[in-house]
């Protein structure tokens, strides 16, 4: 088993000097899955990301590892079966990141009566979900009476509630999953990984076959030599294809999905819930997260700037109408403490229609030069998408560029991710770290698995590292240190938006903490005062831009930024 350091400087040196079998463009969950699949088969693999890992769609999902109950209604039984199989593999391969999550589906009626057709359809869907693969989680769905449903979500409207179904899926921090995939690929299988590296072109030989990727990193241009290239750039994949094909293929139909975060006490949901949207044929999720609850998602066409999708006032109204339609506590815009917006890279269909009705199946395309592009799909099925993509490269690209003999089949079905090892023994090891509170040990274990020992040991040596960095959230100084030293976090936004999730769960509180967190990073990264200030200003400005786009009420942060701009 080969290994590489997960250190950007070392990765850049390797990218400049080595020749690879496969280079992946795009550091989201799909690209991370591809580089891990390739490296674990023994290929010399590398991945570049122009921004930060999971900085696009892969940090802005609903954070659910699920089959997709609604896909049964669309007749996509194969997709549901595949997703539920992948859900089970993730529960086994990343138990520290992927956790079972119960879902409540309240059933509403008039005068205590549910329309018979709706009752039959929902009951059939529950059994269909279980039989398609839902039962792999070890629990089948349950029919709950009104009192049982209210015990799980007491804010449901009692006068309309008749009964409910309870079924089981799973959830994961999407950005942490991406980092775990990349660290597994590098530290355990020898992949070369680097962020802040932009692909600027494709190098080809006289026969027109891909031989390299031209890139820009830290103001320097160079070409990475490779026998094959995989384009996993998500909603930016057409831009990458245009570098290879000389024209924009216009194959992606971006669909925007937004989420909002509100205080849990306003909803009091003990479990996740699926609620209907008034006057629409869709449902949205309500998911508890500590002292918060997030609600989402929307599914709308998007034709704005790909680099800057934002939650709008209309988006928030849409979700609040759903939430208030199924919740007796009136929740207003003032209660929204966080938002996030992402773009799904859906593959265009011949027929027009709602993006919500487009298939989530993935698509693999191979250009004349040999570049392989993977698009579509969903978070849960990234592993199978990656395996199919590498199969395509091995079958049709590498034989033209030096051969593919001796390369085996995908082995990721049972490949445990970084942090899974040692996770199940952490409870017995807690006495080794008496200065780490039981609550903090659980928090670190469920985010880092066996690697939590690194942070626990650091806290044992310096108890100040156990101090939290953002009011009301559990993230600690030790996690900031770990993110910089071991997870290639290079900016304040990397830490507050993705290595932790402070930004999406507590918008203003994360901005209040920006200066203190940046100071911690400055010590690790040797920032000068100019770089320190740039990170703080950039982060706070992006938070304010997000607030203005959503037309949310002004806060003390808004006043502070306006005053700063006048200086």
Query: DSSP readout, 91-147?
Result: HHH-TTT-EEEEEEEEEE-BTTB--HHHHHHHHHHHHHHHHHTGGGGS---EEEEHH
For residue 48, what are its two tokens?
A: 């570049």
Helix (H) and strand (E) counts in the chain: 20, 20
Distance CA 11, CA 191 (A): 9
Distance CA 418, CA 407 (A): 23
The full set of domain ranges for the chain reads: 8-58+175-251+361-372+381-414, 62-170+253-347, 467-566
The pLDDT of residue 349: 64
At residue 69, φ and ψ (nearest 5 deg) are -55, -35
Classify 52 as helix, strand or coil: coil
The pLDDT of residue 563: 47
Give the residues across from 211 on adjacent strands.
Answer: none
Distance CA 40, CA 57 (A): 25
Backbone φ/ψ region at 419: left (φ over 0), alpha (ψ -120 to 50), beta: left
Nearest to 64 by CA among 274, 241, 221: 274
Distance CA 540, CA 237 (A): 29
User: Token pair 């080794």 is at which residue?
Assistant: 432
What confidence tens digit (pLDDT) does each residue in 169-211 have?
A: 999 999 999 999 999 999 999 999 999 999 999 999 999 999 9
Contacts of 329 (CB under 8 A, 6+ apart): 155, 266, 267
Nearest to 134 by CA among 103, 163, 173: 103
Q: Which residues of the chain have pLDDT under 50?
A: 350-351, 355-359, 563-567
Nearest to 179 by CA among 187, 170, 171: 187
Distance CA 100, CA 170 (A): 4
Beta-carbon count within 10 A of 352 CB: 9
Domain 467-566 sits in CATH at 1.10.8
- Judge contact between 172 and 65, C-beta under 8 A: yes
Distance CA 455, CA 163 (A): 45
- CATH 3.50.50.60 for the 8-58+175-251+361-372+381-414 domain, yes or no: yes
For residue 250, what are its two tokens?
A: 């216009």
- Judge contact between 336 and 49, C-beta under 8 A: no
Distance CA 483, CA 175 (A): 12
- Judge contact between 264 and 290, C-beta under 8 A: yes
At residue 256, φ and ψ (nearest 5 deg) are -90, 135
DSSP for 313-328 reads HHHHHHHHHHHHHS-S
Q: Hey, what CATH topology would domain 62-170+253-347 get?
A: D-Amino Acid Oxidase; Chain A, domain 2 (3.30.9)
- Judge contact between 196 and 218, C-beta under 8 A: yes
DSSP for 460-489 reads HH-GGGGSBSSTTS--BHHHHHHHHHHS--
Classify 566 as helix, strand or coil: helix
For residue 286, what are its two tokens?
A: 């309500």
Distance CA 262, CA 336 (A): 5
Distance CA 357, CA 343 (A): 15
Contacts of 497 (CB under 8 A, 6+ apart): 55, 59, 175, 503, 504
Residues 545, 248, 34, 381, CA torsion sign: positive
Classify 48 as helix, strand or coil: strand
The pLDDT of residue 67: 79
Residue 357 burial class via C-beta count within 10 angstroms: exposed 0-12, middle 13-18, buried 19 and up: exposed
DSSP for 256-316 reads EEEEEEEEGGGT--SSEEEEEPTTSS-EEEEEEETTEEEEE---EE--S-TT-----HHHH
State the pairing for strand pair 292-296/283-289.
antiparallel
- Judge contact between 319 and 298, C-beta under 8 A: yes
DSSP for 71-95 reads HHHTT-HHHHHHHHHHHHHHHHH-T
Q: Examine domains 8-58+175-251+361-372+381-414 and 62-170+253-347 and report if their fold is the same.
A: no
- Judge contact between 32 and 182, C-beta under 8 A: yes
Distance CA 355, CA 520 (A): 43
State the pairing for strand pair 292-296/252-263.
antiparallel
The pLDDT of residue 513: 97
Distance CA 70, CA 53 (A): 29
């Amino acid at each position: 088993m080969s290994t590489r350091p997960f250190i950007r400087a070392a990765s850049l040196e390797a990218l400049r000097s080595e020749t690879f079998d496969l280079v992946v463009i795009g550091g989201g969950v799909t690209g991370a899955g591809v580089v891990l699949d390739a490296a674990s088969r023994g290929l010399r693999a590398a991945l570049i990301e122009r921004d930060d890992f999971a900085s696009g769609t892969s940090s802005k999902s609903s954070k659910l590892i699920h089959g997709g109950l609604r896909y049964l209604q669309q007749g996509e039984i194969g997709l549901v079966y595949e997703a539920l199989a992948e859900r089970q593999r993730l529960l086994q391969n990343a138990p520290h990141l992927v956790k079972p999550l119960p879902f409540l589906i309240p059933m509403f009626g008039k005068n205590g009566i549910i329309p018979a057709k709706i009752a039959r359809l929902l009951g059939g869907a529950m059994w269909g979900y279980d039989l398609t693969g839902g039962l792999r989680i070890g629990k089948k769905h349950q029919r709950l009476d009104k009192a049982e449903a209210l015990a799980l979500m007491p804010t449901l409207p009692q006068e309309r509630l008749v009964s409910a179904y309870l079924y089981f899926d799973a959830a994961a921090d999407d950005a942490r999953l991406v980092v775990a995939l990349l660290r597994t690929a590098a530290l355990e299988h020898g992949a070369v990984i680097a962020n802040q590296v932009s692909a600027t072109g494709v190098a080809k030989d006289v026969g027109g076959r891909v031989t390299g990727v031209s890139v820009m990193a830290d103001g320097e241009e160079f070409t990475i030599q490779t026998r094959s290239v995989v384009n996993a750039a998500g909603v930016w994949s057409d831009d990458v294809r245009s570098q290879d094909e000389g024209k924009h293929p216009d194959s992606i139909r971006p669909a925007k999905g937004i989420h909002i975060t509100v205080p849990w006490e306003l909803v009091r949901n003990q479990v996740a819930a699926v609620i209907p949207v008034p006057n629409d044929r869709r449902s949205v999720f309500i998911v508890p997260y500590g002292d918060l609850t997030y609600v989402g998602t929307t599914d709308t066409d998007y034709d704005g700037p790909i680099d800057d999708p934002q939650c709008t006032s209309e988006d928030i109204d849409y979700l609040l109408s759903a939430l208030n339609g199924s919740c007796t506590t009136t929740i207003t815009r003032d209660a929204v403490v966080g938002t996030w917006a992402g773009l799904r890279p859906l593959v265009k269909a011949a027929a027009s229609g709602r993006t919500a009705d487009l298939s989530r199946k993935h698509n693999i395309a191979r250009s004349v030069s040999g570049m392989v592009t993977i698009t579509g799909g969903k978070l849960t099925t990234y592993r199978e998408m990656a395996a199919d993509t590498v199969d395509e490269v091995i079958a049709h690209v590498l034989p033209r560029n030096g051969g593919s003999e001796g390369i085996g089949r995908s082995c990721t079905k049972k490949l445990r991710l970084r942090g899974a090892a040692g996770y199940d023994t952490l409870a017995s090891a807690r006495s080794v770290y008496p200065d780490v509170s039981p609550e903090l040990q659980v928090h670190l274990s469920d985010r880092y698995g066996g690697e939590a020992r690194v942070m626990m040991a650091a806290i044992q040596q310096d108890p100040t590292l156990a101090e939290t960095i953002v009011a009301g959230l559990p993230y600690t100084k030790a996690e900031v240190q770990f993110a910089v030293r071991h997870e290639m976090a290079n900016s304040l936004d990397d830490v507050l938006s993705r290595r932790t999730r402070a930004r999406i769960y507590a918008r203003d509180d994360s901005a209040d903490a920006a200066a203190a967190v940046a100071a911690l990073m400055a010590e690790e990264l040797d920032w000068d005062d100019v770089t320190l200030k740039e990170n703080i200003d950039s982060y706070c400005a992006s938070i304010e831009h997000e607030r203005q786009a959503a037309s949310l009420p002004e806060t003390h942060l808004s006043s502070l930024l306006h005053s700063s701009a006048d200086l």
